[in-house]
Structure 1
Amino acid sequence: MISASEAELGELRARLQATRWPTPWPVEGWEAGTEERTLRRLVEYWATAYDWRTHEAAINGLPSHVADIDGTPVHYLRFDGERPDALPIVLTNGWPSSFLELIALAERLATPSSHGGAAADAFTVIIPSLPGFAFSPQRESLKDGLQTHELWHRLMHSELGFERYAAHGGDLGAGITSRLAEAHPEHVVGIHLMAVANPVTYDVAGLTAAEKRYLESLDEWAAHEGGYQHEQSTRPLTLSYGLADSPTGLLAWILEKYRAWSDCHGDVSTRFSDDFLLTQASLYWFTRTISTSFRPYYEYAGGMTRRVERVTVPTALALFPADLTHPPRSWAERTYNITRYTRMPRGGHFAAHEEPDLLAHDIIEFFRDHRSDHAPPR
């Protein structure tokens, strides 16, 4: 699936070792962005000791497949459930992630008996790579072609033959999962989310106190943490040139998010190993997809992506304390048919990697009542 040449590896290491570091600022830690001390340590490890070949072999050993969906290649992983009638589920990650973030969750869902659960709760897990992320190419046109949720439905229903299936997503994946359920409620038995779409319209005068506080928190978050989103939504190409040219810049851009959005209490190493972070960065680097990973932001801001209006299928919302937003149940119910609402005790934006046991348990519990709603594949 991936095989970086020795020349590509040598070029990466040379670029890392030739990093032109900026003039230091008189600030402490991560106050003004990625901390130089942590970044220098990771860059040094990436350039001298990080073993890409080991991780490359592990990636190539995953159950990868490529489907042709109306001329669009879609890479996906398939983890068959430990029972033949396992409920199919499609998992979708967000940014700046990849399919790798979802591996531990997939293993717990596909073979729950190996992780303290029951085989009766098994899922057949499908993890597609988002268009423009690693192994799935981005659509050639901004406006033409199937939107991602339609690619997912064609993959699950037409390609893999699942008449009824479940779906889960966070961040970008939550939006894709929501649009999937809205467009195909006759095929989606339910969805499990870690974030929700805001209502298309609402009466400000009718908001509860909790909803008002939530909207204020969104404004505060956008003011202090939303710079990346504004840039990726408005001028992504300007940013792309630097990140596609500098592996140090690329690592700095995504590392800051892994720290800020995870439940790491300021120390990113408590949630992510150096090898995990550098493998994510290496995937972006060797596949040259950091630029194309920005496309969903630009397309949504430009009205090229369908807005979610009303999701009628049963919906579960799991909120992790260090994640970006924490909408009250009443707010989520304005758009979704919320039948399960869970506030998790720990974890953050990357919960599938940070807390796979907690997340798997919540998904299993939610879908237990919907397992009879699907038919075996054709």
Structure 2
Amino acid sequence: MPRPTSDVQAFEAHATDADLDELRARLAAARLPEVETVYRAAPDPRRWDQGVPLADLVDVVNYWRTGYDWRPFEARLNQLGQFRTTIDGLGIHFLHRRSARADATPLILTHGWPGSVAEFVDVIDELADPRDANTPAFHVVAPSLPGFGYSDKPATTGWGTEKIAAAWVELMGRLGYSKFVAHGGDWGGVITTVLAGRFPAHVLGIHSTLAQAPPGLSTDGLTEVERQWTEETREFWTHRAAYAKQQATRPQTIGYSLVDSPVGLLAWILDKFAEWTDTDDSPFERISRDRILDDVTLYWLTRSGASAARIYYESHNSLDPELRVDVPSAITMYPRDIEKCPRPWAQQRYRQIVRWTSPKTGGHFPSLEVPDYFTQDLQEALTTVLSTTRYPARPLTV
């Protein structure tokens, strides 16, 4: 296996005090609309029918301004190990946590929108150096998508999922990992699918919380639960996906608000954490305010609201209908995720599904909502993948 190249530089995050002071000043000066006309007392999921309720937003804004501290998250990123490298003229930021285990397998984790590498900070240590010596260990790489976080913002079109997948192969090669496993959800799930379909010589196998079937499949033969999944997914894309249409068609327009107004950015992202999380009312039933604000503050400090939205412009509905995945694949369908694919449909694209899991709880952000379950499920899934791959799982060390 090739050695890591010198094209990778260590990176540390450090927001200036002036940037943080400006954020607090903007929060203090925010102009807010009147209360929603569907006002209901908590807890009640219908409170969110018009978007983020005013009372909830005011509460989070006040905490963001007077109680939240960015520095612990910043220190955590630096502790995990941050790096940057330039691929096809674009600077790519990534976390890289090497395992102490000699039998560790390289693993790339890819986030989606409105997520970031913040999705993985609570699970990386256990993946790299699990408490149980019989559990597989991984050299974990978690890149920031182009236009997200500390990665550069593309100045031209073209950075869609196909190009990102190719960049991930280059990235892993620069780290000395010619063969690896991959995990993703949301856009990360699409990129992971492209990785496996286009680069099977490098991808040992995958785990995804998103399976996208080829178009035009019949519901004949599906179970009642699977039919319900298809109806829920259709209802989501018909009635609750205006954000995707906006970002796919006019990312620059919404981008002005996302970069200029921290309250606008918070509301845009918090709305999705609320709707896509397995909760009865508020996302904070599952995810701490601090972790959600870590994610939002990362967007704010890097001014990436517009550039991150452009991934929809580049890749919305662009997955090649003919793409097939022949490497071993493990798929987990969380019950409150926004897009759930029946296994018979998934098998039309993923030709070697070696593990299929449908847990009882969890939504679109499982690494934040149910981190212990997510980590164990990912470990078990990749164990199954590696046990069936045509490549030897060991040694894969550098």
CA 1:284–1:202 in structure 2 vs 1: closer, same or farther (change >3 Å)? same
In 2, the alpha carbon distance for the partners of 1:295 and 1:306 equals: 19
Amino acid in structure 2 at the alignment position of 1:172: W
Is residue 251–residue 313 contact of structure 2 (8 Å, CA) maintained in 1?
A: yes
* 1:138-169 Cα deviation digits (max 9, x unpaired): 3322137971101111111x201223210000
Q: What's the offset of the Cα at 1:185? A: 0.8
Amino acid at match of 1:97: G
Q: Give the distance between the partners of 1:361 and 1:308, measured in 2 at CA.
A: 32
Of the three residues 252, 264, 282, the one matched with 1:267 is 282
Asked if the contact 1:149–1:177 (Cα under 8 Å) also holds between the matched residues in 2, the reply is yes
TM-score (normalised: structure 1): 0.92
Gap change, CA 1:46 and 1:136, over 3 Å in 2? same
Residue number in structure 2 paired with 1:8: 19
> Aligned to 1:129, which of 141, 144, 164?
144
Distance 1:326 1:154, change over 3 A: same
Q: CA offset at residue 86 of structure 1?
A: 0.5
CA distance in 2, matches of 1:340, 1:255: 32
What does residue 310 of structure 1 align with?
324
Aligned-pair distance for 1:203? 5.0
Structure 2 CA distance for partners of 1:22 and 1:179, relative to 1, 3 Å: same
In the alignment, the residues of structure 2 paired with residue 144 and residue 187 of structure 1 have an alpha-carbon distance, to the nearest angstrom, of 21
CA distance in structure 2 between the aligned counterparts of 1:325 and 1:301, rounded to whole angstroms:
14
Q: For residues 308 and 154 of structure 1, do their structure 2 counterparts lie closer, same or farther at Cα, with a shift above 3 Å needed?
A: farther
1:50-69 per-residue CA deviation (whole Å, 9 max, x = no partner) reads: 22233333333331111232
2:83 aligned partner: 65
Structure 1 match to 2:72: 54
Alignment correspondent of 1:92: 110
Letter in 1 for 2:348: R
Sort the Cα spacing of 1:12 and 1:82 in 2 relative to 1 into closer, same or farther, 3 A. Answer: same
Residues 339 and 119 of structure 1: CA distance in aligned 2, closer, same or farther (over 3 Å) = closer
1:220-299 equivalences in 2 (<5 Å): 220-299=235-314
Q: Secondary structure at the match of 2:107?
A: strand
TM-score by length of 2: 0.87
Q: Give the partner amino acid of 2:22.
A: E
- Say what the alpha-carbon RMSD is for the aligned residues: 2.2
Gaps of 5+ in 2: 1-11, 40-46
Aligned pairs (5 A) from 1:291-370: 291-301=306-316, 303=318, 309-336=323-350, 337-369=352-384, 370=386
Q: Distance in 2 between matches of 1:64 and 1:144?
A: 22
The offset of 1:315, in angstroms, is 0.7
Contact 2:107 2:183 in 1 (8 A): yes
Residue 376 of structure 1 is matched in structure 2 by 396
1:112 equivalent in alignment to 2:130: yes
In the TM superposition, residue 374 of structure 1 has moved relative to its aligned partner by 5.1
Equivalent positions of 1:153-168 (< 5 A) are: 153-156=169-172, 158-168=173-183
Asked whether the 8 Å contact 1:190–1:313 carries over to 2, the reply is yes
Are 2:29 and 1:18 equivalent residues in the alignment? yes
Change in CA separation of 1:54 and 1:121 when aligned onto 2, cut-off 3 Å = closer
Give the residue type in structure 2 aligned to 1:248: V
Aligned equivalents of 1:23, 1:359: Cα separation in 2: 39
Secondary structure of the residue aligned to 1:104 is coil
Amino acid at match of 2:89: G
Q: CA deviation at 1:222?
A: 1.7
- How far does residue 316 in structure 1 lie from its aligned partner after superposition? 0.7
Which one-letter code corresponds to 2:105 in the other structure?
L
* Pairs aligned (count): 372
* Superposition deviation, residue 92 in structure 1: 0.7
Residue of structure 1 equivalent to 2:52: 34
Please state how far the C-alpha of 1:206 moved relative to its aligned partner: 5.9
**How much has 1:212 moved relative to structure 2?**
5.2
The corresponding residue for 2:3 is: none
The aligned amino acid for 2:103 is D
Cα deviations by residue, 1:158-200 (Å, 9 ceiling, x for unpaired)? 201223210000000000000001111122111001011230x
Whichever residue aligns with residue 9 of structure 1, its letter is: L
CA contact (8 A) 1:165 1:374 kept: no
* Shift in Å, 1:202: 3.7
C-alpha contact 2:212 2:341 (8 A) present in aligned 1? no
| Paired-residue identity, % | 38
Q: Partner residue of 2:42?
A: none
- CA deviations 1:328-355 (Å, max 9, x no partner) are 1101101102121100121111101211
Counterpart CA distance in 1 for 2:382 and 2:73 is: 33
Distance 1:166 1:308, change over 3 A: farther
